[in-house]
Amino acid sequence: MTTTYDVAGMTCGHCVASITKEVVKVEGVQLVKVDLETGRVTITSDMPVDSALVAAAVDEAGYAVTGVSS
């Protein structure tokens, strides 16, 4: 399963590392791809992942989810 999240505030490689570090901890997440140009974070998972948990992980990294698409 693949889900894409729009994330506000990402500007550099540190942002990518911080978000990746937190989101990969969410149960079921297998792969995290952060795209600075589009401001999107795409996760690949082996099961449905609770978007609220992903949003909380992004928040923990210091950023905010502004939208979700599958």
When pLDDT is cut at 50, 70 and 90, the band that residue 67 belongs to is very high
Supply the pLDDT for residue 53: 97
Report residue 13 as tokens.
């490689």
C-alpha 54, offset from chain centre: 6
Instruction: Give the list of residues 6+ apart from residue 38 with CB closer than 8 angstroms, or none.
Output: none
Domains in the chain and their CATH numbers? 2-69 (3.30.70.100)
Supply the pLDDT for residue 70: 77
pLDDT digits (tens, 9 = 90+) for 7-51: 999 999 999 999 999 999 999 999 999 999 999 999 999 999 999
For the question of whether the overall pTM of this predicted structure is more than 0.85, the answer is yes
